[in-house]
Amino acid sequence: MFSDRNCPSLARKPRLFLLQACRGINLDDGVELMRDFDEVDALPILVPEYTVSPVPCFKDFCIVYATPPGCFAFRRPSEGSWFVKAFWDVVEKVDLSRVDFLRLATQVIHQVAFSFQSSADDPRIDAKKQSGCIYSMLTKDVYFTPKQDAN
């Protein structure tokens, strides 16, 4: 529905979707981490520059889900969903003009994964975890900059 073909006015503009919803009934028990390991990243690989024409129909999309496919998304009646609360908390703490959208979404997923755990009387849904999922087809970094005053 939001492709370049269907919405030509959105061509070359990022389309960002944040979806707070269950995507199934599976629950995540989590796993205990014994310790944090430091690792060396792989050496950079030189990527040749090239141009492809026409461009893909679904470029410039980014969809951030509250949970992976098949999994349950949690919410607390007093505070709302873990995902939306974490998103709001992260947005309030960062300078949106200096942190790109994918970094922001990654920080949200980190906060949900490490700061939340279910608490319920029902042992089937007690002590469960949640982690978000990013599907990015962005072709450039996305920053939120304030609009310049028209005066």
**Are the beta carbons of 85 and 77 closer than 8 angstroms?**
no
Domain presence at residue 75: yes
Domain presence at residue 50: no
CATH of the domain at 12: 3.40.50.1460
Domain presence at residue 94: yes
Domain presence at residue 39: no
**Are the beta carbons of 13 and 66 closer than 8 angstroms?**
no
Distance CA(62)–CA(84), nearest Å, equals 17
Within 55-142, residue ranges assigned H as helices are: 82-93, 101-115
Please indicate, yes or no, whether the overall pTM of this predicted structure exceeds 0.85: no
Structure confidence by residue, pLDDT tens digits, 80-130: 999 999 999 999 999 999 999 999 999 999 999 999 999 999 999 999 999
Number of neighbouring beta carbons within 10 Å of residue 101 = 19
Mean pLDDT, rounded, of the chain: 86
First vs last C-alpha separation in the chain: 36
Domain presence at residue 108: yes
Q: How many domains does one find in the chain?
A: 1
Q: Which residue has the higher pLDDT, 87 or 5?
A: 87
Domain ranges, residue 104 = 1-28+56-117+129-144
Structure confidence by residue, pLDDT tens digits, 61-84: 999 999 999 999 999 889 899 999
Domain presence at residue 47: no
